Amino acid sequence: MDAELAEATVLACSAVGRDPLTSLLARYGLTVIWLPPGAEIPGSYWGEREAGLIGDQLFVRDDTPIHSALHEACHYICMDADRRASLHTDAGGEEIEENGVCYLQILLADELPGVGRARLCADMDAWGYTFRLGSARAWFDADAGDARQWLLQKGLTDREFRPRWRLRQG
């Protein structure tokens, strides 16, 4: 999909609303900072309208894709406390942590009205996330065992792979 079409079709934060996203991420100690239209987004790794992350603050605009907001929030949730303490823009982390981030963002999509995992996976594909099985949904359903195990080991999900509403400690 070309970039303009992807930009037009992915769900934006404005479609979800401020309260649901703010309340969801507050459970993890994240503060969502809503910026005015066209404002530069501090801490944005990808630039443009993509979410930014500095410390425990997630920066978004109404046109920020919800997948971007959830992805950056999940980086905060999944990183260890030392990295979280000096977090500014680049979350870093190893490949397995990135897989955990992607998996958790899909789980959290189910907690937002009008989003859900199917929509988030479609938006991830439209944006350009790449997975071995060709789509985010195929990866989530059939190839994410390592991500599920990592999230469980880090205490971020329970044995049924539901969020435990806590940050990674170790």
Taking only the tens place, the pLDDT of each residue in 3-36 is 444 555 899 999 999 999 999 999 999 999 999 9
**What single-letter amino acid sits at 36?**
P
State how far the Cα of 80 lies from the Cα of 1, in Å rounded to an integer.
Answer: 35
pLDDT digits (tens, 9 = 90+) for 118-167: 999 999 999 988 888 889 999 999 999 999 999 999 999 999 999 999 99
CA distance 97 to 142: 18
DSSP tag of 90: -
Give the residue among 129, 8, 135 at the shortest CA–CA distance from 65: 8
The tally of domains found in the chain comes to 1
Q: Which amino acid would we find at residue 93?
A: G
Judge whether 143 lies within some domain.
Answer: yes
pLDDT tens per residue across span 87-120: 999 898 999 999 999 999 999 999 999 999 999 9
Give me the pLDDT at residue 10, please: 95
pTM for the structure as a whole: 0.93
Per-residue model confidence (pLDDT) at position 133: 84
Residue 168 in domain: no
pLDDT of residue 8: 57
Q: Is residue 124 part of a domain?
A: yes
pLDDT digits (tens, 9 = 90+) for 29-49: 999 999 999 999 999 998 889
Question: 46-65, pLDDT tens digit by residue?
Answer: 888 999 999 999 999 999 99
Residue 16 lies inside a defined structural domain of this protein = yes
Structure confidence at residue 2 as a pLDDT band (50, 70, 90): very low
Residue 124: which domain range?
Answer: 3-153
pLDDT at 1: 40
Nearest to 136 by CA among 101, 164, 162, 168: 101
Residue 170 lies in a domain: no
164 in any annotated domain:
no
Question: Within a domain: residue 133?
Answer: yes
Taking Cα atoms as reference points, which of 36, 109, 110 lies closest to residue 68?
109
In a domain, 160, yes or no: no
More confident residue, 69 or 48: 69
Among 57, 36, 38, 33, which residue's Cα sits nearest to residue 49?
38
